[in-house]
Amino acid sequence: MTTRIVDQTDLLNTPFMRACRGEDSHSTPIWLMRQAGRYMAEYRNVREKVGFLELCKTPDLACEVTVTAVEKLGVDAAIIFADILLILEPMGAGLQFTAKDGPLINKPVRVAEDVTALKKVDPESLSFVFEAIKKTRQALRKDIPLIGFCGAPFTLASYLIEGGSSKHFAKTKKFMYDSPKTWHALLDHIVEASIPYLLGQVEAGAQVIQIFDSWVGCLGPDDYDAYVKEHVAKLIRALGGIAPVIHFGLASNSLLLQMQAAGGDVIGLDWRVDLAESWSKLEYRCGVQGNLDPTVLLSNRSEIEKQARKILAKAANRQGHIFNLGHGVLPETPVDNVRFLVDCVKRLSVR
Ligand code: CP3
């Protein structure tokens, strides 16, 4: 028992956890979205033996790829290997990942009856994620915090309605505008499922939660307020401050204030925004995470260093900056460039 308390104290004082709380640290913490993925040979080796969903559902393997990424890169935080779409399976929507088309939902939501037909999610049906978190927490170094995560209600609803990935989110928005009542019922259902899922992840050993609203940037601010904000706010409120929350959206420059109002200790920024300007717009009332363009990692060392420096300069040693990409590591990224970035940020940000 004593050991556990000591371990948590160590964890809570790491640069990453301190930044999540807006406290100072000796250097800027860095981790990368999709740090465990296809760009890494170790990951591809595991994937040669098992399918993506099977990997997610095998706690020993999920733990292995999570920990390998941290050890190989020297990042300051781990993110549990899983996927935002896993929660859609116990809803009865049917989930498949194909090499060509990415995720596919077998029974998309198109009419009100489809929403009523969605099953209430028993958190036990996602126990493989909790198990993976427990194993990973034990396998990780004691000074590496573990991030749990979920998809935000809008982004998950978009997969349910579109039946997979989408470019214009036309079906999603039509559904939202045509049937607002059903839309809100759908988002309620997603939030009700996500609350115990996130609480279970924290209980299993995650120190921080990231909420991925990857596709919400397709909405304008008024629609965000009308159709999304209350649902995200409810989800974050329900966590009751049990762990810091990182609230991430892609291409959501015009929504930053709305997203901040919905909640989160740290707001994720993508590369399309100026970090200094955005943080100032948020009045420094939260931390920020970001915001290197992932394609910079396809280039060369001098460009990577130049761009890392620029971002650190924009953050100006303020408390509460977590270095990250503006979106996930791309599959064609050279691992050496990723390691170089991590070293750069550590070297350049020492105070
Ligand atoms: O290292 C980590 O970041 C943790 C693992 C993680 C994955 N997906 C693994 C994954 C996390 C945090 C996610 C979140 C996720 N999943 C998001 C939000 C982040 C974002 O990218 O905006 C979204 C939208 C998804 C849905 C998803 N999963 C798609 C659209 C795809 C197919 C496209 C692709 O990149 O392959 C996936 C599959 C997926 N999730 C892979 C990985 C490593 C690739 C699967 C493979 O091995 O073939």
- Please enumerate in sequence order all residues whose Cβ is within 8 A of that of 222, keeping only pairs 6 or more positions apart, or say none: none
Q: Which tens digits make up the pLDDT trace of 303-319?
A: 999 999 999 999 999 99
Active site annotation includes 301: no
**pLDDT for 5 beyond 50:** no
Q: Find the 288 Cα to ligand 1 centroid distance in Å.
A: 22
pTM for the full predicted model: 0.97
Active site annotation includes 237: no
CATH number of the structural domain 15-348: 3.20.20.210
Active site annotation includes 272: no
Active site annotation includes 18: no
Of residues 39, 43, 159, 197, which has the active-site annotation?
159
Distance CA(143)–CA(9), nearest Å, equals 10
Q: Which tens digits make up the pLDDT trace of 141-153?
A: 999 999 999 999 9
Q: Which tens digits make up the pLDDT trace of 100-128?
A: 889 999 999 999 999 999 999 999 999 99
Q: Which tens digits make up the pLDDT trace of 183-207?
A: 999 999 999 999 999 999 999 999 9
Cβ(267)–Cβ(247) below 8 Å? yes
Q: Which tens digits make up the pLDDT trace of 45-91?
A: 999 999 999 999 999 999 999 999 999 999 999 999 999 999 999 99
E strand map for the chain: 78-79, 95-98, 102-105, 146-151, 208-213, 245-249, 266-268, 287-292, 321-325
Of residues 83, 213, 223, 270, which has the active-site annotation?
83
Which residue has the least CA distance to atom 24 on ligand 1? 214
Q: Find the 84 Cα to ligand 1 centroid distance in Å.
A: 8
Active site annotation includes 222: no
Is the C-beta atom of 165 inside 6 A of ligand 1?
yes
